[in-house]
Amino acid sequence: MMMDMNQDGHMLWMLLPVLAVVFAAAFLGFQLRPAPKAAVARLQAQSRFKTSLYSGSTPTSAEPEDLLIVIPDISGYTHFMSLSKLALAHAHYVIAELLTAVLEAGEKTFHPMRLEGDAVVFHANVAVVGPREAGDGLLRIMRAFDARRQSLARENACLCKACRHIDGLDLKIIVHHGEVLRYSMGTMEDMSGEAIITAHRLLKNSVGQPRYILVTEGTGNFVEIPSGLPHRTVSETIDSAGTISTTVYNVPNEVKPEPGSIEPGAVLTAKALDLTRKLRAVV
């Protein structure tokens, strides 16, 4: 019995080196196994385009670009959309009309990239769009918003909470610039980089008013705002960028109500058209 146990122990010690070799070979084979095609593609994408978070993204440009980032954002949107659940369709109609006006005015100067609820994200290459052209484009957006808001309020034929508070909506525009990498995913376009992050974070600021154009320090070299506009300097602190000095311009509403110049029949026709559109929105 004792001899059998000794023989078994001796056999086990002899097998240990063999087992170690087998284990090492298996481990090495696991490390050297062919990677799945999806993993290879993802690693290649990450090594070539480090700022892209998606393996399926395709860079629009091979190198980062110095772009002007323009984000018009409707002030009072959250409160407006929460006024009444019954008026949600009308509120959506009003916001869609205002964003359409902003989009159509802005795309004459800037490239529209995407909608973000109550905002439009534009960009422009600073080597292509000059400072005067950029400044005129910003004011054109403000005027288009004002004109559409006035017409919506004038044509309003509804007494719901949303339709009675159209005048409470306004517009602010954030203007920043910096290096970003543009890329596309299917039919969608996006961009990544610290500049676009900073521009979005500046939407939440300490300005304390619903209507303005905010231009970050250094961006003023690419945007020429008329010197006659009242303005002030405001410092904002961004986690990723530190303290940023900005210039806030107060833009007057140049679109004045003209009730005396409109025929009563034309007003009634406009109200009827407005009501028809809203009924379609509800249906």
Task: Tell me the C-alpha distance between 234 and 162, whole Å.
Answer: 33
Tens digit of each residue's pLDDT (9 = 90 or more) over 124-176: 999 999 999 999 999 999 999 999 999 998 887 778 878 888 888 999 999 99
Tens digit of each residue's pLDDT (9 = 90 or more) over 221-232: 999 998 789 999
Whether the per-residue pLDDT at 46 is higher than 50: the answer is no
| Percent of the chain residues past pLDDT 70, beyond the cut | 66
Q: What is the mean pLDDT of residues 72-82?
A: 83
182 sits in which H/E element: strand 170-185
Domain locations in the chain as residue ranges:
2-48, 63-282
Predicted pLDDT at 255: 73
Q: Are 160 and 149 in contact, with CB atoms under 8 Å apart?
A: no
Residue 204 in 3-state DSSP? coil
Predicted pLDDT at 201: 93
Whether the per-residue pLDDT at 209 is higher than 80: the answer is yes
Predicted pLDDT at 163: 83
Task: Tell me the C-alpha distance between 121 and 203, whole Å.
Answer: 12
Q: Looking at this protein, which amino acid is placed at residue 206?
A: S
Tens digit of each residue's pLDDT (9 = 90 or more) over 6-30: 555 555 555 555 555 445 444 334 3
Helices and strands in the chain: count of H runs, count of E runs:
7, 9
| Percent of the chain residues past pLDDT 90, beyond the cut | 41
Q: Looking at this protein, which amino acid is placed at residue 108?
A: K
Tens digit of each residue's pLDDT (9 = 90 or more) over 87-127: 777 888 888 999 999 999 999 999 999 899 889 999 999 99
Predicted pLDDT at 28: 38
Contacts of 2 (CB under 8 A, 6+ apart): none
Predicted pLDDT at 215: 97
Predicted pLDDT at 222: 95
Superfamily of domain 63-282: Nucleotide cyclase, GGDEF domain (3.30.70.1230)
Task: Tell me the C-alpha distance between 218 and 214, whole Å.
Answer: 12
The residue whose two tokens read 């530190």 is 242
Q: Are 200 and 239 in contact, with CB atoms under 8 Å apart?
A: no
Q: pTM for the full model?
A: 0.70
